[in-house]
């Protein structure tokens, strides 16, 4: 009988103030619990009145969507073999502008070293919309950069273009310093219009200092062989078979961290 009265009291209180407080006389939400919460069953999220909401699936975690928005189930993305690393930041950017080089803008077959300042490299051009900032919160971290673009040379389908080639390089710079670089060549093996090639670059940086950092992606034209045509990276230079939408550049940044203030939870 006592339990029934307690339930009735809670129902009446909810009807009067539309909020229930446990161990608090001033609830700040529909259900405000001041103390530990022990759940032995499922947590259902979302849904509508009269409909059972989603309990999530194996491997998902409950993630905040920010002020004024409902939380949601998301898959916890942890790379294979990276025990205790958590995905803290994940974003993808794209650029439809790209960069272009004339045959006079060759920088040579240079050797590149990690940590080289972008400001000291001659004739490297930034891909405009891939300059972004990202945040690192913990000393132990791994940041994964995935960059993809298309490079094209402006050949015109003439026999004189056969065996033309242009060598180029693209680099990832963090706070103006070189973190990773890839070199490649666009070749004209036969009579065709505007030969092009896709470049995919993946790089991992470990233990980037805590704080806000700036990412740049820049490219350069290294050398040319039997050609004086223009080179485009992330953009077209011959519209017969390519446009800027097809040649656009993308960059994905993923920051995995071991939290500095990791708190063990008792079972």
- How much is the pTM? 0.68
Nearest to 196 by CA among 148, 249, 152: 152
Alpha carbon 216 to its chain's center: 13
| Rounded Cα–Cα distance for residues 228 and 102 (Å) | 8
Q: In degrees rounded to 5, what are phi and psi of residue 161?
A: -85, -15
pLDDT at 238: 93
Alpha carbon 162 to its chain's center: 39
As a whole number of angstroms, the longest Cα–Cα distance in the chain is 98
pLDDT at 63: 67
pLDDT at 262: 53
Q: What are the average pLDDT values for consecutive 10-residue runs of the chain, which has 267 residues? A: 50 58 79 76 72 71 70 62 76 96 92 96 96 94 96 81 87 97 90 89 95 97 86 95 95 91 52
The residue extents of the domains of the chain are 1-37, 87-258
Q: How many CB atoms are closer than 10 A to CB 53? A: 12
Query: What tokens were used for 128?
Result: 């405009």
pLDDT at 10: 52
Polymer length of the chain:
267
Q: In degrees rounded to 5, what are phi and psi of residue 6?
A: -65, -40
| Rounded Cα–Cα distance for residues 45 and 141 (Å) | 31
What is the pairing mode between strands 99-101 and 165-174?
unpaired
| Rounded Cα–Cα distance for residues 198 and 207 (Å) | 30
Helix intervals (H) in the chain: 2-17, 244-247
Query: What tokens were used for 15?
Result: 């009807």
User: CATH number for the 87-258 domain, one of 2.60.40.10, 3.40.50.2300, 2.60.120.1340, 3.40.720.10?
Assistant: 2.60.120.1340
pLDDT at 42: 74
């Amino acid at each position: 009988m006592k339990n029934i009265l307690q339930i009735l009291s809670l129902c009446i209180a909810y009807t009067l103030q539309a909020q229930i407080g446990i161990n608090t006389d001033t609830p700040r939400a529909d259900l405000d619990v001041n103390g530990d919460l022990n759940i032995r069953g499922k947590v259902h999220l979302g849904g509508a009145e009269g409909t059972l909401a989603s309990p999530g699936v194996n491997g998902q975690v409950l993630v905040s969507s920010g002020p004024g928005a409902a939380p949601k189930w998301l898959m916890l993305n942890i790379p294979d073999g990276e025990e205790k690393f958590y995905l803290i930041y994940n974003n993808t950017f794209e650029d439809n502008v790209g960069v272009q080089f004339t045959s006079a803008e060759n920088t040579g077959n240079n050797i590149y070293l990690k940590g080289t300042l972008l400001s000291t490299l001659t004739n490297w051009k930034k891909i405009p919309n891939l300059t972004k900032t990202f945040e690192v919160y913990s000393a132990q971290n791994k940041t994964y950069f995935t960059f993809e673009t298309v490079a094209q040379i402006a050949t015109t389908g003439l026999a004189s273009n056969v065996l033309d080639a242009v060598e180029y390089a693209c680099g990832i710079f963090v706070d103006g310093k070189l973190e990773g670089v890839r070199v490649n060549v666009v070749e004209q093996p036969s009579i065709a219009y505007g030969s092009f090639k896709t470049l995919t670059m993946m790089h991992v940086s470990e233990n980037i200092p805590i704080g806000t950092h700036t990412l740049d992606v820049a490219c350069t034209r290294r050398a040319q062989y039997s050609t004086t045509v223009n080179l485009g990276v992330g953009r077209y230079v011959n519209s017969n078979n390519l446009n800027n939408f097809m040649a656009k550049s993308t960059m994905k940044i993923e920051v995995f961290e071991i939290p500095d203030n990791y708190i063990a939870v008792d079972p």
